[in-house]
Each structure stands twice: as structure tokens, then as C-alpha cells.
Amino acid sequence: MSSERLLDIILRNSEAYHFEVYHATEVSEAVRNKIWALFENNMHHLYSRSSFGWNPASKKKELFNHLSRFILSYKDVEEKELMAFVMFRFECEEGDDVVYCYDLQVSANTQRMGIGRKLVQCLTNIGTSCKMHKIMLTVFKENKNAFNFYIANGFSVDPFSPSNYIDEEAGDIEEEVDYEILSRELQVLQ
């Protein structure tokens, strides 16, 4: 699906925000730098303490993979100050077609203003229009604000999240992990 078509889907119910949609291959170096700066400001401390560790080269490779798509939100169309972004891909997980949200980042000075909720709604609109079964994402357990945000926006722990795998003999989680996989079912349009 083209970036223009995805933008049409997003703009159906958007009044207060300026959005742009890109494949990773369409993102300029200047915009990549803004995306990376926002990601690093929000996530460096969490990744540094996680099982993933802080590995900028690996994360940039994931973020800007040719399959990645971005929804960017700006405060001002002229100044192009990046307020928030979501990076997602269309994937198949356990036989289901899903919109996988790899990152949803909102700048510190615009958090709790509804832009995160709007980006989740954008993913919902895209997923529904593209006949995806659900939205999936990974969230650090330590990131309580993000975890609670996703729960408040209709997500729950996915059946395939590592915390759901129990060792039958030991009666506990096989391997302690520091993240959960969350999902939100979508109504598939006929």
C-alpha cells in the first residue's frame, strides 16, 4: 500500500495534527536524525538496563529497515519540529496478519496531550483498512507508563508473550524476560 493511501486513511479523522507517512526508504537523512534523536532521548536509559542492551547500530538497522513505515507527527508544518512518530511493519505472526508497532515515541514536552492515542488510532485505521487481524507490539516491563498507556488503549498481553509460557514441571516461567508482547484485536472489514 502506498504512503499516500496510508496518509488518506489517517487523515479521515485528524484535525489537530500534521501527519506525514513514509516508507523507510523515503525518509531523508535530516528526518532520520530527528527520529533517532527522539528515540534516543526516550529509550536510551531503558535499553541500557534491558536484556537487549544499548546498541545504536542494531536499533538503527531495525528502525530504518526497508520494510519499516513511519507516521510522523509535527507541531507545525513549517518548522517541522517532530512531536511524535510510530514505526510499524505489516507482518505475519503465528498465522495472523498483523500491524507490528516497533516503536511509538512522543517527545517529552508533548506527552499526555493525546498524540500517542491518536497514533494508536492511526494504526487501528490502517490495520482495519488493510484487513489485518491485530496490532502487536513489544514493551519493556520496566516502562510502566508505556505499559499502562497501551492497556488503557485496548491492548492486553498477547497469548504468545514470553510471560505466558509456563514450564510444566517447574510450575513457573521458563525464562524471566524484561518485556511483554501486547496486542489489540482489530475488526476486519468485509
Question: How do residues 60-113 score in pLDDT, each as one tens digit?
Answer: 999 999 999 999 999 876 777 899 999 999 999 988 999 999 999 999 988 888
Query: Please, are residues 162 and 175 in contact by the beta-carbon 8 Å criterion?
Result: yes
Distance, in Å, from the CA atom of 84 to the CA atom of 122, rounded to the nearest integer, reads 13
Segment 141-154, tens digit of pLDDT = 999 999 999 999 99
Segment 26-51, tens digit of pLDDT = 999 999 999 999 999 999 999 999 98
| SS3 call for 61 | helix
Here the cell at position 95 is: 498465522
Here the cell at position 125 is: 485505521
Please determine, for residue 167, whether its predicted confidence score (pLDDT) is greater than 90. no
Structurally, at CATH architecture level, domain 3-185 sits in 3-Layer(aba) Sandwich (3.40)
